[in-house]
Chains A and B, each alone.
Chain A
């Protein structure tokens, strides 16, 4: 059981690392292969982890989590096909449209019976605003500095812990898969110091994390405030742009980003631990 858990935890990182090494070996003189390969590596690691955890996917899916891998693949395809072809403003709009589609796919089983239409519209609007904003901001900031994967690694680890703490070890493992793939990408970011090789991957990972938090708030007993903090944790990438850090080195700014992410995640987990009903026995 421990060995199986370790394999699930490490497999996404191994897949991601192998994909990056293979892409680099295939096109050693060009970063283009890494730019489109990194989002695929994130998706491949996530899909491998979900397949190990849940088994072969059912088509059509019978529950919200059945869409997770399908959404992850779709996100990677969007990056490959559209990101380099559309202007930045249109890509921003696309981020919100895609966020809306993700939210709808995840929550639609509850619309009508559990959520009256006005409630559903309010939830969908709120979740879309958070997910779309986070994806768009992380995407832009990932293009400006290499620290985004490290921030996403911290956020994903926090989301994994939060989902597990609130009642779903399975969702926690899936968020852990994103933390796992962010390991090699963080390393790549810090070794290369060239942000452009990880920006598309950061967009895919931030939307997968938002999807998991949305599913957690909707189907697991994740308190809304905790979910909001966890969903916003990737915005710690903005810390590097504080005026007080403007004159600092890239390393210093990335360090501040990671520390801010840790602080947001710690606050979220503290609130979760204090809020979630615990019992002595399991």
Chain B
């Protein structure tokens, strides 16, 4: 292959490669980590963490090249009941002063279908790191008012809080805690 042909090939190929994996910053105001807890065998209490940051690398053509790095501030927990929030942030549960962050770092991504993928990674809560695998749905891609590209993902899975050393008031408050993580990212 002549030097000209090689240069021409690279000139076309490189932008394609650059487009293949896009990086997005997580948009805190359009993202949430929501949990629910079964209370005294009766109703469910819902709560959410409102402050999070991180990045998403999304490669639609090659999902294995995708990744996510998410950090949630435990002090941003709210259940819309101030006294209960104080208790949940205390050492009885999340211990937000000793453990100010919940983190998730993906290790592998495999395609399930056009709209979803299985993401495996390390979830760290309360200072304990456990591997989790969650089916993540690509909820859509759009444009914000400035014309910038935005992307959305959502997943739902259940953890056992005792696995993370949060054992107080089991079974009065259920050990199994369903989570919903919904994130929106702004393209860098």
- A binding-site residues for B, Cβ under 8 Å: 1, 53-55, 58, 62-65, 109-110, 113-114, 167-171, 215, 218-221, 277-279, 281-282
Q: Do residues B167 and A55 form an inter-chain contact, with CB atoms below 8 A?
A: yes
Q: Taking A54-B167, A54-B168 as contacts, is the C-beta distance between A63 and B99 under 8 angstroms?
A: yes
Digitize B80-118: 1 where CB-to-A-CB distance is under 8 Å, 0 elsewhere.
111110110111100101111000000000000000000
Q: Taking A62-B165, A63-B165, A170-B168 as contacts, is the C-beta distance between A281 and B81 under 8 angstroms?
A: yes
Nearest A residue to B96, CB-CB: A219
Nearest B residue to A109, CB-CB: B98
Residues of B within 8 A of A171 (CB): 90-92
Q: Do residues B83 and A168 form an inter-chain contact, with CB atoms below 8 A?
A: no
- How many residue pairs between the two chains, A and B, have CB atoms under 8 Å in the bound complex? 76
Q: Do residues A167 and B86 form an inter-chain contact, with CB atoms below 8 A?
A: yes
Residues of A within 8 A of B95 (CB): 63, 219
Q: Do residues A282 and B84 form an inter-chain contact, with CB atoms below 8 A?
A: yes
Nearest A residue to B82, CB-CB: A279
**Looking at the complex, which one of A55, A63, A281 makes contact with B91 (CB distance below 8 Å)?**
A63
Q: Do residues B100 and A114 form an inter-chain contact, with CB atoms below 8 A?
A: yes
Q: Taking A277-B82, A278-B83 as contacts, is the C-beta distance between A215 and B91 under 8 angstroms?
A: yes
Residues of B within 8 A of A215 (CB): 91
B126 contacts chain A at the CB level, 8 A cutoff: yes
B172 contacts chain A at the CB level, 8 A cutoff: yes
**Looking at the complex, which one of B80, B82, B87, B172 makes contact with A1 (CB distance below 8 Å)?**
B172
B159 contacts chain A at the CB level, 8 A cutoff: no
Task: List 29 interface pairs A-B (beta carbons < 8 Å), by A numbering.
Answer: A1-B40, A53-B168, A54-B168, A62-B165, A63-B99, A63-B126, A64-B98, A65-B91, A109-B98, A167-B87, A167-B89, A168-B87, A171-B90, A171-B91, A215-B91, A218-B97, A219-B91, A219-B97, A220-B90, A277-B86, A278-B83, A279-B81, A279-B82, A279-B84, A281-B81, A281-B82, A281-B84, A282-B83, A282-B87
Residues of B within 8 A of A219 (CB): 90-91, 95, 97-98
Q: Do residues B97 and A114 form an inter-chain contact, with CB atoms below 8 A?
A: yes
Q: How far is the CB of B170 from chain A (nearest CB, A)?
A: 8
Residues of A within 8 A of B172 (CB): 1
Residues of B within 8 A of A109 (CB): 98
Q: How far is the CB of B165 from chain A (nearest CB, A)?
A: 5
Q: How far is the CB of A179 from chain B (nearest CB, A)?
A: 19
Residues of B within 8 A of A282 (CB): 81, 83-84, 87
Q: How far is the CB of A90 from chain B (nearest CB, A)?
A: 34
A6 to B167: give the CA distance in the assembly, Å: 19
Residues of B within 8 A of A279 (CB): 81-84
